[in-house]
């Protein structure tokens, strides 16, 4: 049976860099709207808070909250002077992968890890590498795959 309703996704954006977050969100929402999907957007302080936000959304859905077919994680991590770049980058992506595998979640990972602003902007802008749009498209693809595997 094919999907009867449009996919409904939760976009979790880490607005550590406001302007770059706007660009990533533009790309992601453009892709979601183009696919006919619906979505909610929530904001967290940084990339480390994205996986917990998704976990909170899962818990809420079990208590009568909104059910989401998939998730789009958006964030920008730019290397500074300390090891914190590695922590933020590695732990946020690791936690997303753990969630996706353990809960069979359709998560598009748009947490970018860049060496400098130039790399960051080239990947954030929809008119350039559009990594926000790619993350949204990845989530939609995984939703469709799960539907197919479940007889959809």
Ligand X SMILES: CC(=O)[C@@H](O)COP(=O)(O)O
Ligand Y SMILES: Nc1c(NC[C@H](O)[C@H](O)[C@H](O)CO)[nH]c(=O)[nH]c1=O
Which of 11, 20, 57, 77 binds ligand X (CB under 6 A)? It is 77
Lateral strand order in the sheet of 38-44:
38-44, 8-14, 70-78, 107-114
Nearest in space to 109 (alpha carbons), one of 125, 122, 98: 98
In this complex, which beta carbon is closest to ligand X, that of residue 80 or of residue 151? Answer: 80
- Which residues form the interface with ligand Y (CB under 6 A)? 14, 16, 45-49, 75-78, 84, 88
Select the binding partner of residue 82 from ligand Y, ligand X, none (C-beta < 5 to 8 A, by kind). ligand X
Decide if residue 81 touches ligand X (CB under 6 A).
yes
84 is catalytic: yes
| Residue 88 lies near ligand X (rule: CB under 6 A) | yes
Does residue 84 belong to the site contacting ligand X (CB under 6 A)?
A: yes
Indicate which residue of 45, 59, 67, 84 is catalytic. 84
Report how many residues bind ligand X under the rule CB under 6 A.
8
Which residue matches tokens 């989530």? Answer: 139
Minimum CB distance to ligand X, residue 24 (Å): 16
Q: List residues with catalytic annotation.
A: 84
- Binding residues, as ranges, are 16, 47-49, 76-78, 81-82, 109, 123
Binding-site residue set for 5-amino-6-(D-ribitylamino)uracil: 16, 47-49, 76-78, 109
Question: Where does this chain bind ligand X (CB under 6 A)?
Answer: 77-78, 80-82, 84-85, 88
């Amino acid at each position: 049976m094919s999907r009867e309703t449009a996919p409904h996704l939760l976009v979790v954006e880490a607005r550590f860099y406001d302007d770059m977050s706007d660009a990533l969100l533009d790309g992601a929402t453009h892709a979601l709207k183009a696919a006919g999907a619906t979505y909610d957007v929530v904001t967290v302080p940084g990339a480390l808070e994205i996986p917990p936000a998704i976990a909170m959304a899962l818990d809420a859905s079990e208590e009568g909250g909104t059910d989401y077919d998939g998730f789009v994680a958006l964030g920008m991590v730019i290397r500074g002077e300390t090891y914190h770049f590695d922590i933020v980058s590695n732990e946020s992506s690791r936690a997303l992968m753990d969630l996706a595998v353990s809960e069979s979640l359709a998560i598009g990972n748009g947490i970018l890890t860049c060496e400098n602003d130039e790399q960051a902007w080239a990947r954030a802008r929809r008119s350039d590498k559009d990594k926000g749009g790619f993350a949204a498209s990845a989530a939609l693809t995984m939703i469709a795959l799960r539907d197919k595997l479940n007889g959809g």
